[in-house]
Amino acid sequence: MTAKGVIEMDELVKFVAEKTGMSDEMSQKAADAVLEYLKENMPDPVVGVMEKVLGGGEIGLEEAAKELKDAFQFP
Q: Is residue 53 part of a domain?
A: yes
- The answer as to whether 48 is a domain residue is yes
Blockwise average pLDDT, block size 10, the chain, 75 residues: 63 94 96 92 91 80 90 84
- Dist CA 72 CA 30 (whole Å): 29
Cα(55)–Cα(49) distance, integer angstroms? 10
pLDDT value for 1: 45
Q: How many domains does the chain have?
A: 1
2 within a domain of the structure (yes/no): no
pLDDT of residue 23: 97
Residue 11: predicted pLDDT: 86
* Residues 54 and 6 sit within 8 Å (Cβ to Cβ): no
Residues spanned by the domain of 59:
9-71
- Judge whether 3 lies within some domain: no
